[in-house]
């Protein structure tokens, strides 16, 4: 279900590269307002453009630091490693691609899960990182999330999942990646039965099989401003219906207007908004 096709992917990928390769103290161009801004200034604002509030990419690691009380994150299931069940190869074999992505990002796969504190309340938290093969969901992402949800159920913890995925399911793992959607959704279904509070946070981009599974199943759904969120990629839609897409189509604001998002939350307020929701729900 990697619906965002070629050009989108190439674009996003190069952006990710650029972002990762910005040494501190340089001038960078904002993808939102095109203004040239001092990167240190954006970093101070949690990677948000000071001029237009455009939310740049943040890694899973940085996200955890932004949301959790300092030094409280305890990672779960980091010992799970992706494998290559299809012996998949396009121009590069999936096995090689995995090694390259692991070296480039320092992650073992596209999601980190575990527990930590938010304003001294213990929570279960998962973050997908859109830099690792587009933040796509393969077996490891699915398994880490399913275990996260199951532990949150057993330990009666509030659950937070921050999504960022341009690809949705990971096609290199074929049908097994598609089935992760059902697997994580089934786990969430049990979590809800048990009375849990699931806060889903959507970031740029949240598409395809990630949008069409756990990301849409929050008791509360928050989104960062101006994120691209949807099922089918804009280019696929354009190619199918052959008309221009309405302005602002598939943005957080568009989804809010159509009733699929509860709140648009700026990055600087994410932690306090999550804490407040947990407080209201008493979970």
Partner 1 sequence: MSSEVVTAAPGLEFEEPILTIEGRIRELERLGPANETVEEELRQLRRQWTDETRRIYGQLNPWQIVQVSRHKDRPYTRDYLNLAFDEFVELHGDKFYGDDRAMLTGFAKLDQQKVMVVGHQKGRTYKERSACHFGCAHPEGYRKAMGKMKMAEKYGLPIICFIDTPGAYPGVGAEQRGQAQVIAESMYLMSQLRTPIICVVIGEGGSGGALGIGVGDRIAMLQYSYYSVISPEGCAGILWKSHQFAPKAAEALRFTSAHLQGFGVVDDVLEEPLGGAHRDHHQMASRMKHYLTRTLAQLREIPADDLVQQRYEKFRQMGRFLEADTAAT
**How many residues make contact with partner 1 (CB under 8 A)?**
71
Least spacing, CB of residue 70 vs partner 1, in Å: 28
Sole binder of partner 1 in the list 22, 46, 52, 237 (CB under 8 A): 237
Angle between helices 234-241 and 6-20 (to 10 degrees): 160
Segment 15-74, which members bind Zn ion (CB under 5 A)?
30, 32-33, 49, 51-52, 54
Segment 112-171, which members bind partner 1 (CB under 8 A)?
138-140, 142-143, 146, 168-171
Nearer to Zn ion, 97 or 226 (CB): 226
- Find all residues with CB under 8 Å of 179, minimum gap 6, and list them: 142
Stretch that binds partner 1, among 27-35, 39-47, 67-75, 179-187 (CB under 8 A): 179-187
Sole binder of partner 1 in the list 44, 104, 156, 190 (CB under 8 A): 190
Say how far residue 213 (Cα) sits from the centre of its chain. Answer: 12
Nearer to partner 1, 35 or 182 (CB): 182
Q: Could you give the angle at the alpha carbon of 190 between the alpha carbons of 185 and 193, nearest 5°?
A: 125
SS3 198: strand
**Alpha carbons within 13 A on the beta-carbon side of 152:** 34
The entry of partner 1, Zn ion, none near residue 175 (CB within 5 to 8 angstroms by kind) is: partner 1
Segment 202-231, which members bind partner 1 (CB under 8 A)?
208-209, 211-217, 229-231
The entry of partner 1, Zn ion, none near residue 51 (CB within 5 to 8 angstroms by kind) is: Zn ion
Note whether 98 binds partner 1 by CB under 8 A: no
Least spacing, CB of residue 31 vs Zn ion, in Å: 7
Least spacing, CB of residue 50 vs Zn ion, in Å: 8
The entry of partner 1, Zn ion, none near residue 5 (CB within 5 to 8 angstroms by kind) is: partner 1
- Rg (alpha carbons) of the chain, rounded to whole number: 18
Tell me if 208 sits within 8 A of 169, measured CB to CB: yes
Nearer to Zn ion, 48 or 148 (CB): 48
Sole binder of partner 1 in the list 13, 260, 281, 283 (CB under 8 A): 260
Burial of 73 (0-12, 13-18, 19+ CB in 10 A): middle
Distance in angstroms (rounded) separating the CA atoms of residues 282 and 175: 39
Least spacing, CB of residue 176 vs partner 1, in Å: 5
C-alpha distances in Å from residue 27, one per residue of 16, 41, 80, 237: 16, 10, 38, 35
Least spacing, CB of residue 121 vs partner 1, in Å: 26
**Alpha carbons within 13 A on the beta-carbon side of 263:** 14
Least spacing, CB of residue 61 vs partner 1, in Å: 19
The entry of partner 1, Zn ion, none near residue 33 (CB within 5 to 8 angstroms by kind) is: Zn ion
Burial of 109 (0-12, 13-18, 19+ CB in 10 A): buried
Tell me if 60 sits within 8 A of 19, measured CB to CB: no
- Applying CB under 5 A, the residues found at the interface with Zn ion are 30, 32-33, 49, 51-52, 54
């Amino acid at each position: 279900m990697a619906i965002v096709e070629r050009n989108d992917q190439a674009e996003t990928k190069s952006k990710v590269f650029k972002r990762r390769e910005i040494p501190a103290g340089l001038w960078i161009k904002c993808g939102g307002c095109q203004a040239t801004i001092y990167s240190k200034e954006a970093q101070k604002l949690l990677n948000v453009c000071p001029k237009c509030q455009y939310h740049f990419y943040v890694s899973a690691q940085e996200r955890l630091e932004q949301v959790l009380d300092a030094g409280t994150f305890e990672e779960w299931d980091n010992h799970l490693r992706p494998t290559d069940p299809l012996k998949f190869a396009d121009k590069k074999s999936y096995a090689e691609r995995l090694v390259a992505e692991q070296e480039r990002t320092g992650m073992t796969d596209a999601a980190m899960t575990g527990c930590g504190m938010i304003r001294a309340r213990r929570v279960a938290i998962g973050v997908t990182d859109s830099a690792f093969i587009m933040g796509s969901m393969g077996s490891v992402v699915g398994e880490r999330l399913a275990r996260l949800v199951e532990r949150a159920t057993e330990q009666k913890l509030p659950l937070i999942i921050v999504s960022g995925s341009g690809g949705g399911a990971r096609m290199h793992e074929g049908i097994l990646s598609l089935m992760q959607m059902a697997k994580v959704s089934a786990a969430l279904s049990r979590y809800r039965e048990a009375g849990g509070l699931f806060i889903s946070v959507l970031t740029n981009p949240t598409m395809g099989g990630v949008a069409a599974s756990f990301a849409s199943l929050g008791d509360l759904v928050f989104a960062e401003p101006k994120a691209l969120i949807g099922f089918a990629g804009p280019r696929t839609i354009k190619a199918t219906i052959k008309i221009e897409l309405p302005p602002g189509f598939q943005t957080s604001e568009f989804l809010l207007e159509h009733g699929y998002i509860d709140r648009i939350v700026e990055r600087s307020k994410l932690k306090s908004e999550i804490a407040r929701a947990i407080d209201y729900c008493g979970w």
